[in-house]
Amino acid sequence: MNATQSPGERDVLLVVDVQNDFCPGGALAVPNGNQIVPVINRLARCFPHVVMTQDWHPRRHRSFASAHPDRQAFETVEVEYGAQTLWPDHCVQGTEGAAFHPGLDIPQVELIVRKGYRPGIDSYSAFRENDRKTPTGLAGYLRERQFERVTLCGLALDYCVFFSAIDAHEAGFEVTVAIEACRGIDLDGSQGRALAAMREAGISLLESIPG
C-alpha cells in the first residue's frame, strides 16, 4: 500500500501487538501507544484482509528480568542466539495485560498469530523467533493465501514492527510500514536505527494515512 494505492485482494494489514501492557498504564508501556488505536481502526477499514499478532509469554519467560537474579529490566545479557534485552514481565498468557487494547475495532481479522510462547526464546518478529531461524508459520500462511503486499502497524515500531517488516521483506513480500499507526520505545536510539535500516532495505515508510 502507498498513498496513491487502495488495498486489494493481494494486500494484507498486519497489526502488531496492540495490547494493554504496551499501552499507558501497562507493564511495558510504549509512550503514547494508545494514540494509534483510532488510527489503526481507520487504516483497517481500508483493508479486506487483516492479521494480528499477540505477544503471549509464559510466566518466568527467559526474556523477563525477573527470571535473572541480580539483573534489572532493560539490561542486556548474552544468550545462545545473541544479545537479549531483559524486559519487565509483560503480556503473560491469560492476563489482562496480554489482552488486545479494548478500543481496537477490527471485526474482519482473519488470523491471530501468538508469539513469544516458547519459554527459552524471545520473539519480536511475527515471522521468526529471535534465533532468526525458527519460523512462526506466518510467511507460509500468507503465501498460501496468495498475498503479495504486507502493510504493518502497531507496537513497538523499533522492535516488533521493525523485525516483522524486515522478515516480511526477506520473505519476498512488498512491505510498507504505516508510521502514523506506530509508536516506538526508542531505547538508546533504537527508533532512529530501525527507521534507517528499513529505508536501507527498501521498505516503504508511509508517514501519513490517506483519509
Write out the catalytic residue numbers: 17, 115, 160
Residue with cell 503473560: 92
List, as one string, the DSSP characters of the chain.
--TT----TTEEEEEE--BGGGSTTSTTPPTTGGGGHHHHHHHHTT-S-EEEEEE-BPTT-TTBGGGSTT--TT-EEEETTEEEE-B-S-SBTTSGGGSBPTT---TTEEEEEEES-STT----SSSB-TTS-SB-SHHHHHHHTT--EEEEEEE-IIIIIHHHHHHHHHTT-EEEEEEEEEE---GGGHHHHHHHHHHHHT-EEE-S---
CA neighbours closer than 13 Å in the CB half-sphere of residue 62: 16
Tell me the three cell numbers of residue 193. Answer: 536505527
**Among positive and negative, which fits the CA dihedral 64, 81, 20, 26?**
positive
